[in-house]
Amino acid sequence: MIRNLKALGFALVAVFVIGAMVASAASAQNGIITSDGPFTLKGVNTGAEAENSLTAFGQVVTCPNATYTGHKVAVTPHEKVPNNSSSVTITPSYGICKVGGTIKATVDMNGCDYVLHLGATTAIADQYKLTTTVICPPNEHIVVTLFTNEEFHKIKDIPFCHIKITEKASYDGLLLRDTTNNTFDLTGTIEGIEAHKENNSKTTNTEASILCLPETTTAGVLHIDVGITETSGTAIKLSHL
């Protein structure tokens, strides 16, 4: 009898555990962007410089004037995002970036885009997990190019270093939160970015060449803190399926 009661007790515990797991899965609903009509998104840095940076090879690249445009996924030329979309293509424009106090940099997308896929809700109201995919044309990559200073960049001086980013199927770590009034906050950290540092053999700057010895890392880190607004006069909101 006692053995049967114990068995019944274990069975009841299992039922409760499975029920809790099912309820948790049901409550974590995937997100969509609802709108009054097709829309275009614009993003700008809203956090501190360190909160919008790429760290690789012990160097921190910041792009204080970066902007981002959001449009329909997998369409060229770009079109507006339709209502009830769960994915958005993001095309960045980084402008002149910097590494420390003297080295300048550019980030060339070479036709690559980021695609953000809305995932499950989080414990924070109106916040959703994101999966990020990098989409590039065949044989193209995102390339960070370093210059010794901005004046050399302006006169097209030969850069001394290239950092090539290797694409990955998907990255986790970003979050999108609805902050009302047609604005979203895009925040988070992507880790495990693979990058390859390549010395430009044509440069005549020996000191700069030493700073860019060929090297590979799989520990690159991207920090994001971006405010996103709608530019088409359309009301947008994060919701779920």
Q: What is the secondary structure of 181-237 as a DSSP string?
A: TTEEEEEEEEEEEEEEEEE-TT---HHHHHTT--EEEEEEEEEEEEEEEE-SS--EE
Is the pLDDT at 1 greater than 60? The verdict is no
For residues 119 and 30, the answer to whether their CB atoms sit within 8 Å is yes
Can you give the pLDDT at residue 216?
94
For residues 173 and 135, the answer to whether their CB atoms sit within 8 Å is no
CA distance 94 to 97: 7
What is the DSSP code string of 21-80?
A: HHHHHHHSPBEEEEESS-B-EEEEE-S-GGGSEEEETTEEEE-TT-EEEEE-TT-SS--P
- DSSP letter at 85 equals B
Buried b (16+ CB within 10 A) or exposed e, 97-131: bbbeeebbbbbebeebbbbbbbbebeeeebbbbbb
Can you give the pLDDT at residue 149?
57
Q: Which percentage of the chain shows pLDDT scores above 70?
A: 78
Is the pLDDT at 129 greater than 80? The verdict is yes
Can you give the pLDDT at residue 134?
93
CA distance 31 to 92: 23
Can you give the pLDDT at residue 22?
38
Is the pLDDT at 161 greater than 90? The verdict is no
Nearest to 212 by CA among 168, 158, 166: 158
pLDDT top residue among 9 and 56: 56
In which band, very low, low, confident or very high, does the pLDDT at 209 lie, cut at 50, 70 and 90? low
What is the DSSP code string of 140-168?
A: --EEEEEES-HHHHHTTPPPSEEEEEPP-
For residues 64 and 49, the answer to whether their CB atoms sit within 8 Å is yes
For residues 173 and 119, the answer to whether their CB atoms sit within 8 Å is no
- When pLDDT is averaged across residues 10-20 and rounded to a whole number, the result is 41
Lowest mean pLDDT among 44-53, 91-100, 142-151, 207-216: 207-216
Domain range summary for the chain, segments of one domain joined by +: 2-240
Is the pLDDT at 87 greater than 90? The verdict is yes
- How confident is the prediction for the chain on average, in pLDDT? 82
Q: Give 17-76 pLDDT, tens digit per residue.
A: 334 443 434 445 789 999 999 999 999 999 888 899 999 998 899 999 999 999 999 888
In which band, very low, low, confident or very high, does the pLDDT at 196 lie, cut at 50, 70 and 90? very high
Q: Which residues lie across from 7 on neighbouring strands?
A: none
CA distance 150 to 23: 56
